[in-house]
C-alpha cells in the first residue's frame, strides 16, 4: 500500500480509492452506501491482480512454487484477520463467503448438534435477515423456539426484557453489534454476561461493527462472531466466522468435500482439524489474501481514528438533517450509542424517489427495507432511505445529501 497515513487525513484516504475519483451524472461521486458494501482501496485491487498475475494456484495441495506461495499468503491472511479481531489463534478463524454463510455454518453445525425441541433462541427486532432466517430454518428442523428482544422509541434494545426472555431453556442469543438501519451499537459485553449466566452462547453479527470500530472478540466475551470482507474495504466473496477454539473443535462439519477430511473410506470419513474442517472445496484464495491487505489498510489508518472520524461525520449529519422539517430519523440521538448509519423518511416522498433525486446529483444512498423487514414493520414504515458513512466521506458530502433532500422535498411537494 501507499505511504503510511500518520494522521487521519480524509482527502489522502480518498485518493487511495480509484472509484471515488469519478463523476456520476456530472458531479463528483458522494458514496453514502458503505453499509451495503464499501469501496476498495488501490492496495486491495492491486493485491487481487498480483495474485492472478504472479502466483495463481490452488492452496494446501501443490508442492510447487506458486502453490506454496499462494498457501503461505492465504494462511498469512488468516493470521492477519485473526489478530485484527483479537482471536487467541488463527485456528479460531474460518473463512466463509460472507457473514450470511458464517451464520448458516453455526446454525447447521453447532445448532443442529446442540438444539433440542423446546430450546430457545433469543434474537432482537433489529436483526438483518441473515441473522433471522438461518435460525428460523434451524428452529423448523429442531423444534426450537424463537423469541425477540424489543426496542425502545430510540431503537435501543429493551434490556429489562432479558429478565423474562432469558431462561434455562435459552441455548443461544444472536444479536447484531451495530444495526445496519438504526445505527444502534448494542452492549455486547453485557449481553455475553447475561447469556452465559443461563449457560447460553452469544453470537455477534459484526457485519456493521468490524469495519468501523475496534472489535476484540476476547474483550466482547462472545462465543461466535461473523463478518463480511466486502464491507471493510475487502473484496466480495470472502468473510468469516470467529469462534472460541473449544466450540469450533466440538462442531461437526457443515459442507463435505475436498480439503476438509483426514481419511475418506468408501462408507465414512474422518475430518480435518479446525479450521480446515469448515473450508470444504477450493476457497476464495485471492479474496482471502486481499482481505488481509484490507486489514493492513484499516490498521494503518487505525480503527480508533476511523470511529472518531465517523462519529464526527455522524454528529454533523444529524445536526444538518435536523434542519429539515418533515424528515424523520430513526435510531438513537446520542452519537456514542450509534454508528454512522442514518435511515430516514421524508414525509410525502417515497424512499426510492428520494434516492433517485440524490443519484441525479451524484449522491449514492440506499432505499428499501435493507434486509430488515421485521424492523421496518416495528417502525411502521415499509421502507426508509439510508445514508451510511465510512473512512472516505467528508462533511461536504453531508452538505450535498442535505441539499439533495431539500430538492426532493421541493420536487414532490
Active-site positions read 371
User: Can residue 228 be called a binding residue for ligand PLP (CB under 6 A)?
Assistant: yes
Which residues face 388 on adjacent strands? Answer: 33, 341
Q: Which stretch binds ligand PLP (CB under 6 A): 69-77, 113-121, 125-133, 246-254?
A: 125-133
Which stretch of DSSP H or E encloses residue 12? helix 10-15
| Smallest gap from residue 208 Cβ to ligand PLP (A) | 5
Which residues in 20-39 contact ligand PLP (CB under 6 A)?
36
DSSP state string for 215-241? --HHHHT-SEEEEEGGGTTS-TT-EEE
Number of residues located near ligand PLP, criterion CB under 6 A: 14
Nearer to ligand PLP, 235 or 404 (CB): 235
The three-state secondary structure class of 7 is coil
Q: Which of 34, 38, 142, 180 binds ligand PLP (CB under 6 A)?
A: 180
DSSP state, residue 107: I
Q: Nearer to ligand PLP by C-beta: 28 or 187?
A: 187
- Interaction with ligand PLP in 345-384: which residues (CB under 6 A)? 371
Binding segment for ligand PLP among 20-28, 44-52, 64-72, 201-209 (CB under 6 A)? 201-209
Q: Is residue 80 near ligand PLP by the rule CB under 6 A?
A: no
413's grid cell: 411537494
For ligand PLP, which residue of 40, 108, 128, 409 counts as binding (CB under 6 A)?
A: 128
Tell me: does residue 99 bind ligand PLP (CB under 6 A): yes
Query: Does residue number 205 form part of the binding site for ligand PLP (CB under 6 A)?
Result: yes
CA atoms within 13 A on the CB side of 377: 7
- Minimum CB separation from ligand PLP for residue 207, in Å? 4
- Rounded CA-CA distance 139/236 in Å is 29
Residues 6+ apart with CB under 8 A from 210: 85, 177, 225, 227, 231, 232
CB–CB of 235/286 below 8 Å?
Answer: yes
Listed ranges 79-87, 94-102, 166-174, 373-381: which one lies at the site for ligand PLP (CB under 6 A)? 94-102
Smallest gap, in angstroms, from Cβ of residue 326 to ligand PLP?
Answer: 27
Q: Does 98 bind ligand PLP (CB under 6 A)?
A: yes
Applying CB under 6 A, which of residues 207, 215, 288, 340 lies at the interface with ligand PLP?
207
Binding flag, residue 343, ligand PLP (CB under 6 A)? no
**Residue 104 in contact with ligand PLP, rule: CB under 6 A:** no
Query: How far apart are the C-alpha atoms of 365 and 285, rounded to whole Å?
Result: 31
Q: Least distance to ligand PLP from the beta carbon of 85, Å?
A: 16
208 forms part of the interface with ligand PLP (CB under 6 A): yes
| Closer to ligand PLP by Cβ: residue 120 or 128 | 128
For the chain, state the CA radius of gyration: 22
Q: Are 380 and 151 in contact (CB under 8 A)?
A: no
300-308 contacts at long range (C-beta below 8 A, 24 or more positions apart): 300/1, 300/4, 300/5, 301/5, 301/8, 301/13, 301/391, 302/8, 303/212, 303/213, 303/214, 303/215, 304/214, 305/7, 305/8, 306/8, 306/212, 306/213, 306/391, 307/212, 307/213, 307/214, 308/8
3-state secondary structure of 4: coil
Which one among 34, 109, 170, 176 touches ligand PLP, defined by CB under 6 A? Answer: 176
Which residues of the shown chain bind ligand PLP in the complex (CB under 6 A)? 36, 98-100, 128, 130-131, 176, 180, 205, 207-208, 228, 371
Amino acid at each position: 500500500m501507499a505511504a503510511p497515513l500518520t494522521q487521519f487525513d480524509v482527502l489522502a484516504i480518498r485518493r487511495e480509492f480509484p472509484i471515488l475519483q469519478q463523476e456520476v451524472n456530472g458531479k463528483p461521486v458522494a458514496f453514502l452506501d458503505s453499509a451495503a458494501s464499501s469501496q476498495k482501496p488501490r492496495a486491495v485491487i492491486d493485491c487481487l491482480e498480483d495474485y492472478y498475475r504472479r502466483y495463481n494456484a490452488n492452496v494446501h495441495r501443490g508442492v510447487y512454487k506458486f502453490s506454496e506461495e499462494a498457501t503461505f499468503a492465504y494462511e498469512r491472511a488468516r493470521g492477519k484477520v485473526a489478530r485484527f479481531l483479537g482471536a487467541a489463534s488463527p485456528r479460531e478463524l474460518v473463512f466463509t463467503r460472507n457473514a450470511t454463510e458464517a451464520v448458516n455454518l453455526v446454525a447447521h453445525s453447532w445448532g443442529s448438534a446442540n438444539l433440542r425441541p423446546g430450546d430457545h433462541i433469543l434474537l432482537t427486532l433489529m436483526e438483518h435477515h441473515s441473522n433471522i432466517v438461518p435460525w428460523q430454518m434451524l428452529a423448523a428442523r429442531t423444534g426450537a423456539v424463537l423469541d425477540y428482544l424489543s426496542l425502545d422509541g430510540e431503537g435501543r434494545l429493551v434490556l429489562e426484557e432479558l429478565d423474562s426472555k432469558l431462561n434455562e431453556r435459552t441455548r443461544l442469543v444472536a444479536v447484531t453489534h451495530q444495526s445496519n438501519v438504526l445505527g444502534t451499537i448494542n452492549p455486547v459485553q453485557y449481553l455475553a454476561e447475561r447469556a452465559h449466566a443461563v449457560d447460553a452462547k452469544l453470537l455477534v453479527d459484526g457485519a456493521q461493527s468490524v469495519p468501523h470500530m475496534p472489535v476484540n472478540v476476547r474483550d466482547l466475551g462472545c462465543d461466535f462472531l461473523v463478518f463480511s470482507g466486502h464491507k471493510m474495504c475487502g473484496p466480495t466473496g470472502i468473510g468469516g466466522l470467529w469462534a472460541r477454539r473449544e466450540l469450533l473443535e466440538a462442531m461437526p462439519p457443515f459442507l463435505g468435500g475436498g480439503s476438509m477430511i483426514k481419511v475418506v473410506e468408501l462408507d465414512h470419513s474422518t475430518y480435518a482439524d479446525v479450521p480446515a474442517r469448515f473450508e470444504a472445496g477450493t476457497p476464495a484464495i485471492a479474496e482471502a489474501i486481499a482481505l488481509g491487505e484490507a486489514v493492513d489498510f484499516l490498521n494503518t489508518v487505525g480503527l480508533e481514528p476511523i470511529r472518531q472520524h465517523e462519529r464526527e461525520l455522524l454528529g454533523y449529519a444529524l445536526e444538518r438533517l435536523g434542519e429539515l422539517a418533515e424528515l424523520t430519523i430513526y435510531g438513537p440521538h446520542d452519537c456514542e450509542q450509534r454508528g454512522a448509519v442514518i435511515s430516514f423518511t421524508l414525509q410525502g416522498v417515497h424512499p426510492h424517489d428520494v434516492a433517485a433525486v440524490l443519484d441525479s446529483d451524484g449522491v449514492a444512498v440506499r432505499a428499501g427495507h435493507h434486509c430488515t423487514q421485521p424492523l421496518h414493520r416495528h417502525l411502521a414504515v415499509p421502507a426508509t432511505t439510508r445514508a451510511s458513512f465510512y473512512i472516505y466521506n467528508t462533511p461536504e458530502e453531508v452538505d450535498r445529501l442535505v441539499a439533495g433532500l431539500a430538492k426532493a422535498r421541493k420536487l414532490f411537494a
